[in-house]
Amino acid sequence: MSVHAGSILHVGGNNVIDRIQSAGLGDARVPREVIREVGNREVVDKVPGDPDFTFTLESFDVSTELEAWLSGKLGTDPLDPTKAPGATDPDGTAYSWLDCKYVNIVSPWKDPNTGAAGNVEAGHLVPGYYPTRVRYRFGVTDNSTQEVELAGGSYYYAQHAPVEDLASGDGTLTDFDTADDAVAYRRGGAGGTTFKWVFGVLVNGVLQVEGLDYVQTGPAAATPGPATVSFLVAPANGADVRFVYFTTAARAFPQAVNASAIVKPAAVRGRNICVYLGDAGARAKLGGVQSFELEATVDGEVEREFCNEEAIGRTINGRDCTGEVVVRSRNANAFFQLLSKVTGVAQSEVIGFLNQNSVPLTVEIQNPKNPAQVLKTLRVDDAIFDVPGTPARVNAPTDFSLRWESRSGDYRAIKGAMA
C-alpha cells in the first residue's frame, strides 16, 4: 500500500493547516562537490554542500489563519479549527508582510489501516523555516489559491510521531523539557557518535542557535527518552518558546482538517471577490476583472557558521510586493476611466507609457454563503500600475493586463473588512 496524500497532514502554529491542495519540499537534493587530486584520475570523494531547501504549500483557504501563523500567532487547540492562529484577533487586525517570523512545520502520517481517525505511524519535520514568498491567485471562474513558500537548511524523517512543544518563558526558567520521550538523531549520519533530539528552537519567532543561545541534552546513546533545551539566557517573561522533535509516545491523528465547511468555505471563486482602486471613501470598484495576482517576496540568503551543520538564520536584504490585474473593459470609455484611475491623468488628456502615480489597491474576499460577510481583505497602500499594451486577437475579447508593484514593497492581509 502506498503512502497516500490523505494520510499526511501539515501542522503549523499548533493548528492543522487545512484546504491544502499540495505541500512539500521542492528540490531536496543536497549539492555535492567532486574532489579530485593531482596524479589521480579517479574521484577522491564527493563532499556535501550547504543546501537551501524550500517548502511550498498551496491552499484554497481564504481566511487569515496562514498570515497569522506566519506573523507569529499560535492556535490554542490543533484539533479545533475555531481556535486556529489569530482566531481571537478582532476583525480589522492586519498582518503585514514585514512582520513574518520563523516557523516549524510538523507533518504527521496516519496509519492507513486504522480508518477515519487512527494513530500517527511516522512523520516529517521541517524546522526553523522562514517565509520567502506568498502568492495569491484569483480567477473569475477559478478557485482562489494562496501559496506560501518557506526556506530553510534542514529536514528530518522518522517512523515516529513528529510533535511541536509550546512553552512560555517566565524570565528565570532556562531549562525546557520535552513533554514526551524524544528520538535521537545521529549527527553526521550513520558514522556519527554524538546525538541531538530537538530541532527548530524558536523564541518569539526568532531562530535560536545551538551552542550560542542554547544547548540540549538527552539520554545516553540513541535510546529514546526525555530531552532538555537549556537556554544560556532565560527567555523573557511571556516569551513564546517552541521546538520540534519525534517521539515514541502514541499520538492520535488530528482530524480537524475535515471540519464542516460551515466554519469556512471549501473554496471561493471570482464572483465573491471585489477589487477596488482608490481610498476607502470612494470604494471605486474595478469592473471587468478577469484575474488578480499578488506576490510578496523576500530577497535574502541562508546564514551558516563553523561547527554547525544546520542553518543559523537568514539574511533579509529586502522585500517586495508585485502583481497583476487582468481587466476586460466593456468599451473604450470604461478602459480610459481605468487608465485615469491608475495614472491620475484626466481622461481628456493624453496618457503615456510612463506612470509614477501610486493608488491604494484593495481586494475583498466574501463568504460565498453570506456575501455580506468579508472573510479577508488584501491591501496595498501604494500600487504603481504599468500602462498596458493592447493584446488584440481575432474572434476574442481584449483583456488588458495591468502589472503593478508596491512602492514600499509591502502589503497587509486584514481579518474581515478594512476598518
Same domain, 230 and 361: no
Conformational region of residue 342, where left means phi above 0, alpha means psi within -120 to 50, and beta covers everything else = alpha
Same domain, 194 and 286: no
Q: Name 206's bridge partners.
A: 203
Mean pLDDT, all residues of the chain: 90
Please state, in angstroms and as integers, the Cα–Cα distance from residue 350 to each residue in 214, 336, 339, 355, following that order.
64, 10, 10, 12
The answer to whether residue 251 sits within a structural domain is no
The answer to whether residue 142 sits within a structural domain is no
Same domain, 227 and 300: no
Q: What is the pLDDT of residue 213?
A: 96
Same domain, 395 and 286: yes
Same domain, 278 and 220: no
Nearest to 130 by CA among 105, 108, 162, 160: 105
**Tens of pLDDT along 298-330?**
998 888 889 888 888 888 889 999 999 999 998
Run of H or E residues at 373: strand 370-385
Conformational region of residue 307, where left means phi above 0, alpha means psi within -120 to 50, and beta covers everything else = left
The greatest distance separating any two alpha carbons of the chain, rounded to the nearest whole angstrom, comes to 81
pLDDT range class, residue 275, cuts 50, 70, 90: very high
Say whether pLDDT at 261 is over 70: no
CATH of the domain at 368: 2.40.30
Same domain, 187 and 279: no
The domain boundary residue, chosen from 223, 241, 259: 241
Same domain, 236 and 290: no
CA angle 240, 202, 220 (to 5 degrees): 115
Same domain, 237 and 300: no
Buried b (16+ CB within 10 A) or exposed e, 328-360: ebeeeeebbebbebbbebeeeeebeeebeebbb
The answer to whether residue 80 sits within a structural domain is no
Same domain, 279 and 411: yes
Whether the Cβ atoms of residue 400 and residue 335 lie closer than 8 Å to each other: yes
Residue entry with cell 500517527: 120
d(CA 93, CA 71): 12
What is the total count of domains within the chain?
2
The answer to whether residue 212 sits within a structural domain is yes
Which residues, 6 or more positions from 120, have their beta carbon under 8 angstroms from its beta carbon? Answer: 108, 109, 110, 111, 161, 162, 251, 252, 253
Grid coordinates given for 148:
506560501
Same domain, 403 and 275: yes
Say whether pLDDT at 125 is over 80: yes
Average pLDDT over residues 9-19: 87
The answer to whether residue 72 sits within a structural domain is no
Which pTM value belongs to this model? 0.91
| Most confident among 21-30, 113-122, 207-216, 259-268 (mean pLDDT) | 207-216
pLDDT range class, residue 161, cuts 50, 70, 90: very high
**Tens of pLDDT along 343-388?**
999 999 999 999 999 999 999 999 999 999 999 999 999 999 999 9
The answer to whether residue 52 sits within a structural domain is no
d(CA 333, CA 336): 5
The answer to whether residue 224 sits within a structural domain is yes
Percent of the chain surpassing pLDDT 70: 94
Say whether pLDDT at 227 is over 90: yes
Same domain, 384 and 309: yes
Same domain, 207 and 290: no
d(CA 402, CA 324): 6
Whether the Cβ atoms of residue 288 and residue 328 lie closer than 8 Å to each other: yes
Nearest to 320 by CA among 228, 257, 403: 403
Per the structure, the complete domain to which residue 375 belongs is given by 270-415
Q: Name 53's bridge partners.
A: 152
Residue entry with cell 503549523: 12
d(CA 399, CA 203): 48
Percent of the chain surpassing pLDDT 90: 64
d(CA 237, CA 198): 22
Residue entry with cell 495591468: 402
The answer to whether residue 154 sits within a structural domain is no
